[in-house]
């Protein structure tokens, strides 16, 4: 038998907690000295205490914990409940981490306002290219919606290209389109296309679509570094388009000139937005 202090030490809980659980009838001591009132606990009670703590970690109130324990929940069922809770907590941690990255990225956008010059914007005509691509719909153009869609798409695309024996012949190219059919009540859905340049002889196969992208007039700027900081560069490009009198003709896209998954800080990405010439300027 253990004194209450010894049992608390072995169980890694406080004496106060044990007294509280006793008062609630959750974990009465194995024996109480009638003359001194000292509580004693047995090692066999650690199993019940572990269940109390586990159910409490699931978010149950102590009264709910008592009800569950009185119904003698099976070990396997308790394991299942804990695994479910673990998955929920992991998802919550991942969501919080994503929100933290978004906040940090937004802070960088604000800090970098006015520090990136529009002199780096170039207007040019792209060359027509043949692209192998996969596509999916994102809820909006916000980073937290685009990222979870486009990243798996590229993983699937490269696997399918390898299985079909299609060799990339150029960089990865992504582009975006408004997708009104799937637009939500609070925003506009986006059709996300993840592609890679292939040879002009390639045709669709192995679940990969092959499309020809025509030459188009675009305003471009090069973004250096990880994509979680790309918003600031997009905004520089948007300000230039407005200030120059050009008219955007779509959501644009990205060309991954130097994709560095091992060290995103070395990444080089060209951002493109199709534009109509400014008023009074020729098409050239």
Give the residue extent of every domain in the chain.
2-73, 118-276
Q: Are strands 168-178 and 209-213 parallel, antiparallel or unpaired?
A: unpaired
State what percent of residues in the chain have pLDDT above 90.
42
**Are 118 and 239 contacting, i.e. CB atoms less than 8 angstroms apart?**
yes
Nearest to 166 by CA among 208, 124, 127, 128: 208
In the numeric block, which tokens belong to residue 86?
């673990």
In the prediction, which pLDDT does 73 show? Answer: 64
Q: 10 Å Cβ neighbour count for 190?
A: 23
pTM over 0.85: no
Least confidently predicted of 33-37, 64-68, 74-78, 261-265: 74-78
**pLDDT at residue 57, rounded to an integer:** 80
Phi, psi (degrees; rounded to nearest 5) at 169: -120, 10
Name the 3-class secondary structure at 70. Answer: helix
Residue 195 has pLDDT above 80, yes or no: yes
* Percent above pLDDT 70 for the chain: 87
Q: What is the CATH number of domain 118-276?
A: 3.20.80.10
What is the per-residue pLDDT for 54? 83
Please report where in the chains the tokens 């471009």 appear, as a residue: 220
User: Quick check: 23 pLDDT over 80?
Assistant: yes
Binning pLDDT at 50, 70 and 90, where does residue 114 land? Answer: low
Q: Which residue has the tokens 């975006």?
A: 176
Which pLDDT score is estimated for 267? 87
Q: Is the pLDDT of residue 275 over 90?
A: yes
The structure tokens listed for 283 are 């098409």
The domain 2-73 having CATH identifier 1.10.1660.10: the answer here is: yes
Task: Label residue 234 by pLDDT band (50, 70, 90).
Answer: confident
Q: Which sign, positive or negative, has the C-alpha torsion 68, 70, 73, 75?
A: positive
CA 117 – CA 123 distance, rounded (Å) = 15
- Highest mean pLDDT (candidates 57-61, 85-89, 118-122, 254-258): 254-258
Query: Residue 180 has what pLDDT?
Result: 64
Please report the pLDDT score of residue 82 as a whole number. Answer: 74
Over residues 1-8, mean pLDDT = 90
């Amino acid at each position: 038998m253990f004194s209450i202090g010894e049992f608390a030490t072995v169980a890694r809980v406080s004496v106060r907690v044990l007294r509280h659980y006793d008062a609630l009838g959750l974990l009465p001591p194995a024996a109480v000295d009638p003359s001194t009132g000292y509580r004693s606990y047995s090692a066999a009670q650690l199993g019940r205490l572990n269940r109390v703590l586990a159910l409490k970690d699931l978010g149950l109130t102590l009264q709910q914990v008592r009800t569950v324990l009185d119904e003698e929940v099976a070990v396997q069922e308790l394991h299942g409940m804990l695994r479910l809770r673990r998955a929920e907590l992991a998802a919550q941690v991942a969501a919080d981490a994503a929100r933290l990255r978004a906040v940090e990225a937004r802070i960088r956008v604000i800090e970098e306002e006015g520090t990136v010059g529009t002199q780096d914007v170039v207007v040019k005509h792209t060359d027509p290219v043949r692209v192998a691509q996969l596509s999916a719909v994102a809820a909006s153009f916000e980073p937290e919606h685009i990222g979870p869609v486009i990243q798996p798409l590229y993983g699937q695309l490269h696997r399918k290209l390898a299985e079909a024996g299609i060799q990339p012949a150029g960089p990865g190219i992504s582009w975006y389109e408004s997708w009104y059919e799937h637009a939500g009540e609070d925003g506009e859905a986006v059709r996300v296309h993840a592609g890679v340049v292939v040879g002009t002889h390639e045709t669709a196969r192995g679940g990969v679509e092959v499309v020809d992208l025509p030459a188009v007039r675009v305003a471009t700027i090069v973004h250096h570094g990880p994509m979680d900081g790309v918003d600031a560069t997009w905004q520089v490009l948007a300000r230039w388009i407005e200030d120059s009198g050009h008219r955007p003709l779509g959501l644009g896209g990205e060309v991954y000139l130097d994709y560095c998954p091992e060290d995103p800080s070395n990444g080089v990405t060209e951002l493109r937005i199709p534009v109509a010439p400014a008023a009074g300027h020729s098409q050239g």
